[in-house]
Amino acid sequence: MSAKILSQTYGKRAEHFDNVAAKDLLLTMERKKSNLCVSVDVTHSQHFLDVIDAVGPYACLIKTHIDIIEDFEPSLITRLQDLSTKHDFMIFEDRKFADIGNTATLQYSKGVHKIASWAHVTNAHSVAGPWIIPALASVGLQLGRGLLMLAEMSSKGSLATGSYTEATVRMAREHRDFVIGFIAQRRMEGVGLNASSDIVPPEDEDFLVLTPGLQLDVTGDHLGQQYRTPKEVVLEAGCDVIIVGRGIYGKSEHIDVQSTASLAEKYREAGWSAYEERLKKYSSES
């Protein structure tokens, strides 16, 4: 892991990025003292908004799966945007685009959800090859959006490992204007470089790493999800943003506002102190 990157604050690292969404995210993290992204995987609009209103003060980013909302109406997006302004967080639609370029651009810009019009950040798989990146960029760049590539996954038996991960990082490196980083379990600077690499990255190559699969007291679910703690993810693996879902909003169909807010605060605090410890550790090394 590069001490050069890990010894720098999120605010300082904003200078490494030309992409507007990456800069805004890093500056939001610094301003709110939060590297917590809350993943709000609930299926009814009011529940969705209630969870976001409760966790919003503690999050730099709210992650949505907009296609699981059963009573979706376009006005939900306006209400989500109002909460984003009220609590000063950015929005990440976890769409995991994976199709040919033409289809992906349509899925990104059209249909019921019109994702590009409101999601500051979205993500894509590399399984269909590199063209998915310029395809999504043709819609997103002019709107100031950013893309995360799925380089690794948190689920047991994931095929996104080894040469797949390396090829994904190489694709990202060719599109630094739009790809701001990865969904991954560790840092990705320098991954996939080989003698035949066309692109030689700068010595201070910096990708954001957003990491799902976190809970404080549980190691997995019954469907293959695997969990680590904020300390393991931020301090030991060097990741930048912790993505936490059920660890915060639980399993119930109804929200307990008090406990949801206090769990969000607990994860914010755990993520941020792991980051502060990391800054200290790597500052003394660099």
**99 is annotated as an active-site residue:** yes
Q: How many residues touch ligand 6AU (CB under 6 A)?
A: 18
Q: Does 246 bind ligand 6AU (CB under 6 A)?
A: yes
Q: Report 105-144 residues binding ligand 6AU (CB under 6 A).
A: 123
Catalytic residue among 33, 99, 114, 266: 99
Please tell me whether residue 35 binds ligand 6AU under the rule CB under 6 A: no
Among 225, 242, 255, 261, binds ligand 6AU (CB under 6 A): 225
Among this protein's residues, is 177 annotated catalytic? no
Task: Find the binder of ligand 6AU among 56, 101, 181, 213 (CB under 6 A).
Answer: 213
Stretch that binds ligand 6AU, among 106-114, 127-135, 167-175, 241-249 (CB under 6 A): 241-249
Which residue in 245, 261, 264, 282 binds ligand 6AU (CB under 6 A)? 245
Which residue from 247, 277, 270, 204 is spatially nearest to 38, judged by alpha carbons? Answer: 247
Per CB under 6 A, which of residues 80..99 are in contact with ligand 6AU?
94
Q: Is 56 in the site for ligand 6AU (CB under 6 A)?
A: no
Catalytic residue among 24, 50, 94, 206: 94
Task: Verify whether residue 281 is a known catalytic residue.
Answer: no
Nearer to ligand 6AU among residue 33 and residue 65 (C-beta):
65
Residues annotated catalytic, as ranges? 94, 96, 99
